[in-house]
């Protein structure tokens, strides 16, 4: 159900997408990476080729819509586009939500979040709040559709700052691209870096999704930037719209082995229960 095509889209799979009730689409444009690929964790993976920009009409509609809900709802700000790609700060939106009991899931790896930590921490005292930080690797991935925000070293400052607050935050490991960032040892190294900051959750996905346009764009980049992989990809995947790393079994094993030595949430129902009190889902498999 689309309440308003410019602001809120209902999530009908409450055991997925971090338990949000509605996806909040408050910016024009899209994240560039969705021109090439997406993952099963991306609620709205469409790309329109436009740069992210502020939409005052959508923001006004969002504030109007949240006032109409009597029961508590969780609204999701996902990365397509990142809310901080069209705002230096979302303190205005947070302050508008203060008078209501609704909560937020924010997916971002923007350092602009640092400027909002005080207002978000205050918000989290009386409202459900969870922040998910997408990370793909420890160091920069040598593909043009990855910017600096996708690797750990670039956003370690964000992890460090969040770890000093009472805000619940976690890490979403994505995207994992076969033969690019799916090495077992490198994945273990990434886990160790993340675990050091004691996040509330870690959730990986080892799958990629494509449509015809994304796949063609992806293959063009591979042909230009990693031509040695092109024949390997064609042999293994061809034009399949869903890919998984050939290392998926070992990656899962490595993840479970390391995460079970901690108290960090790692299944979707555990993550939802971190901040959504009304959640009573049955146990959901990680994969």
Q: pLDDT digit string (tens) for 60-113?
A: 999 999 999 999 999 999 999 999 999 999 999 999 999 999 999 999 999 999
pTM: 0.93
Does the pLDDT value for residue 242 go beyond 90?
A: yes
Q: What is the pLDDT of residues 214-237, one digit of tens each?
A: 999 999 999 999 999 999 999 999
* 238: Cβ contacts below 8 Å, ≥ 6 apart: none
Does the pLDDT value for residue 28 go beyond 80?
A: yes
- Asked, for residue 52, whether it belongs to a domain, the answer is yes
- Asked, for residue 44, whether it belongs to a domain, the answer is yes
Does the pLDDT value for residue 130 go beyond 50?
A: yes
- Asked, for residue 247, whether it belongs to a domain, the answer is yes
* The residue count for the chain: 287
pLDDT band at 6 (very low <50, low <70, confident <90, very high): low
**Strand boundaries in 27-151, DSSP class E:** 27-28, 53-54, 74-77, 103-107, 129-135
Identify the pLDDT of residue 147: 87
| Number of separate domains in the chain | 1
- Asked, for residue 234, whether it belongs to a domain, the answer is no
- Asked, for residue 224, whether it belongs to a domain, the answer is no
Q: What is the pLDDT of residues 153-196, one digit of tens each?
A: 999 999 999 999 999 999 999 999 999 999 999 999 999 999 99
Which 3 state secondary structure label does DSSP give 3? Answer: strand
Identify the pLDDT of residue 3: 36
Identify the pLDDT of residue 286: 56
Which 3 state secondary structure label does DSSP give 122? Answer: helix
Identify the pLDDT of residue 284: 46
Identify the pLDDT of residue 270: 97
What mean pLDDT do residues 9-38 have?
95
Domain boundaries, position 160: 2-210+243-273
- Asked, for residue 206, whether it belongs to a domain, the answer is yes
- Asked, for residue 280, whether it belongs to a domain, the answer is no
Does the pLDDT value for residue 255 go beyond 90?
A: yes
- Asked, for residue 203, whether it belongs to a domain, the answer is yes
């Amino acid at each position: 159900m689309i309440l308003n095509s410019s602001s809120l889209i209902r999530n009908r799979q409450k055991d997925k997408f971090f338990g949000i009730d509605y996806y909040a689409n408050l910016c024009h444009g899209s994240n560039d990476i969705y021109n090439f690929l997406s993952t099963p964790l991306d609620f709205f993976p469409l790309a329109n080729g436009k740069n992210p920009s502020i939409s005052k009409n959508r923001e006004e509609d969002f504030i109007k819509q949240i006032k109409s809900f009597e029961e508590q709802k969780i609204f999701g700000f996902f990365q397509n586009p990142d809310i901080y790609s069209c705002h230096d700060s979302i303190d205005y939106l947070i302050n508008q939500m203060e008078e209501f009991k609704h909560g937020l899931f924010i997916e971002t790896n923007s350092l602009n979040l640092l400027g909002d930590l005080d207002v978000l921490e205050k918000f989290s005292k009386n409202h459900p709040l969870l922040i998910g930080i997408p990370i793909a690797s420890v160091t920069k991935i040598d593909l043009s559709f990855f910017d600096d925000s996708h690797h750990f070293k670039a956003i370690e400052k964000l992890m460090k700052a969040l770890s000093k607050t009472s805000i619940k935050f976690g890490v979403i490991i994505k995207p994992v691209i076969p033969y690019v960032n799916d090495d077992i040892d490198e994945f273990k190294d990434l886990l160790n870096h993340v675990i050091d900051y004691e996040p509330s959750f870690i959730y990986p996905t080892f799958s990629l999704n494509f449509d015809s346009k994304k796949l063609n764009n992806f293959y063009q980049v591979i042909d230009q930037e990693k031509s040695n992989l092109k024949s390997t990809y064609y042999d293994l995947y061809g034009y399949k719209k869903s890919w998984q790393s050939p290392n998926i079994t070992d990656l899962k094993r490595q993840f479970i082995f390391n995460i079970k030595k901690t108290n960090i949430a790692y299944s979707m129902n555990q993550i939802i229960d971190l901040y959504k009190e009304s959640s009573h889902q049955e146990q959901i498999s990680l994969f």
